[in-house]
Amino acid sequence: MRTVEHTRQGEVAQVLTLREEPRRPAPGPGPGRGEVLVRLLVRPVHPGDLVGVEGMPGQPELESEQQPEQQPEARIPGVEGMGVVESVGTDVHAPRPGQRVAVFPAPGTWSDFVVVPAALAVPVPDGVSDETAALMLVNPLTLRMLYRALEDALRGRKGPVLQTAAGSSVGRLVSAAADRHGLELINLVRSTSGAEKVRTLHPSQPVIATCDDDWQGQVRRHAGERGVQVVLDSVGGAITLELSGLLADGGTLVSYGQLGSGTTPLEALRLVARGLTVRGVSILHWMNRTAEERAQDVAFAQDLAQSSPDLLQVAGSYDLADFKAAVEHARRPAKSGTVLLTTPLTADSVQGAAR
């Protein structure tokens, strides 16, 4: 059994290590009541996973509950993945051993095994590849949360809406949803080549590169005199001030990521004078939604994986042991899609799942 772990926050190459144990899975009681043990085959490298390892600049390290004299507790990155149910605890009627499932939220998926509540092990629809299944939950569920925030902010209007990092995996889902719903979306990317890629995928949507000196003027020409109603922003930092300047009075900035650097003081946004709203959206709050809403979201994700696997693009695949190369790829500029970490399915694992 292999596990990628860290005992302190810091640069990935310095703090993450691979622990290998001869036997599978780690000694312990196995899945408890209502839980399943999943033999993971594929898990993504999400930007949020790396924030968990490295921390946010300027923010304190994750709190630890142990005493100073104790060995620091090891943390395993990853919240999403797919695999095969190895065994189930008492009172679990579904999923069954041997079934393919996608898991989220499942802290610690950068390991060969994870234990999750049975309700969070989602059956992978027939015909969906393991790679697509590994990307089926986090980003599609984030899209659902963003879209809800968008609808709240638009109050029946169709836009215009501006999104940053439009070439990202989440950005591509937003663009596809805009095409589907007739949303007036303006896409921002940081490079001319990135703009070309988004333009090819969504020819009817304006795409503007922030490397152009007059990018804000270009946004204004597309949005009209009033400005945009909503900004969906995953870049943040220094660009926040310029984005807020593109909002119509009464508009909303939805912040859901921090790819950029620098900071913008809250006071600079003129929230009061312009009646602006700033709203944060995080997949970490998805479990706070009602069971019915979560079931609808999961059904949406399963349908998307079946009908539009091209929207869950894979940038590259690496064995779990090659996590450092995978992280380097995940951070490479101009990549398209998400990097995956894989575990080969061995004869032993097939027998294990059949037990």
Ligand X SMILES: NC(=O)c1ccc[n+]([C@@H]2O[C@H](COP(=O)([O-])OP(=O)(O)OC[C@H]3O[C@@H](n4cnc5c(N)ncnc54)[C@H](OP(=O)(O)O)[C@@H]3O)[C@@H](O)[C@H]2O)c1
Among 163, 169, 175, 187, binds ligand X (CB under 6 A): 169
- 191 is a contact residue toward ligand X (CB under 6 A): yes
Q: Which is nearer to ligand X, 109 or 338 (CB)?
A: 338
Min dist CB 301 to ligand X, Å, is 13
Partners of residue 43 on adjacent β-strands:
341
| Beta carbons of 263 and 241 less than 8 angstroms apart | no
Count of residues that interact with ligand X, criterion CB under 6 A: 27
Q: Which of 75, 144, 190, 202 binds ligand X (CB under 6 A)?
A: 190
- Residue 46 as a binder of ligand X (CB under 6 A): the answer is yes
Q: According to CB under 6 A, which residues from 321 to 350 bind ligand X? A: 333-334, 338
Residue 22 contacts ligand X per CB under 6 A = no
Residue nearer to ligand X on the CB measure, 99 or 277:
277
Cβ nearer to ligand X, comparing 256 with 323: 256
Nearest-CB residue to ligand X? 257
Toward ligand X, which CB reaches closer, 48 or 309? 48
Smallest separation, CB 41 to ligand X (Å): 20
| Least distance from ligand X to the Cβ atom of residue 327, Å | 11
Sorted by sequence, the CB contacts under 8 Å of residue 346 that are 6+ apart come out as none
Neighbours of 139 (CB within 10 A): 23
Give 39 or 190: the residue with its C-beta nearer to ligand X.
190
- Contacts to ligand X from residues 100-159, by CB under 6 A: 138-139, 142
Q: Which of residues 229-288 bind ligand X (CB under 6 A)?
A: 234-235, 256-257, 259-260, 281-283
Separation CA 109–CA 95 (nearest Å): 18
Choose, by CB under 6 A, the member of 3, 87, 132, 168 that binds ligand X. Answer: 168
Residues that bind ligand X (CB under 6 A): 46-48, 138-139, 142, 165, 167-170, 189-191, 194, 234-235, 256-257, 259-260, 281-283, 333-334, 338
